[in-house]
Amino acid sequence: MGRWLCFYKKANVVFFSVRKGHRLSFGPSWYMVLVLLFGAAYAFGTTILAFSNPIQRFILIVLWMNTTMNLLMVSLADPGYILGEEEYDCEQPITCTVCNMRVSPTSHHCQDCGLCVEGFDHHCFWVGKCIGGGNMKYFANFTLSVVVSFLYIIVSRIPIVFCFINSL
């Protein structure tokens, strides 16, 4: 019987393995996720109070829940950390000069995490980890949900701004 729960650390990343093949990871700046969660809860909470229309409040709550879920998904999903020698279908795997491991040409060594990441895009301080092939879709969804939420708040406040300007 295999392990179902396993904690381990490699370089600057802490892994929580739920079962073989499925792992969650916390990057070196994991505390920024907590800052974002509490900051978003406060910002959305105070914004929700400013809306008197129950439909607008409901929409804002749905947007906040969507943004929060996407943040949790991107911050917990494994971006594609390469933890050991893996077999690659490509003809010419490269050797990472830092890890001294054979990796695919699409991987890159992250200096912040201290690991190679398959499909590396960038290291995002705000979500506390690398953005790579394993969590790119969650990062795109998170970014889109933040933009949609801000646009909704701005557009829904335009009539109030015009009423204020007209009252002057």
Catalytic residue (choose from 110, 113, 116, 124): 124
Q: Give whole-number Cα distances, 123 to 79, 129, 138, in Å.
A: 10, 6, 14
Going by C-alpha positions, the residue among 127, 151, 144, 143 that lies closest to residue 78 is: 127
d(CA 59, CA 163): 22
With a CB cutoff of 8 Å and minimum separation 6, the contacts of 64 are 40, 41, 44, 48, 149
124 is catalytic: yes
Beta-bridge partners for 115:
110
**The amino acid at 77:** A
Going by C-alpha positions, the residue among 143, 150, 123 that lies closest to residue 73 is: 143
d(CA 124, CA 134): 14
Catalytic annotation, residues? 124
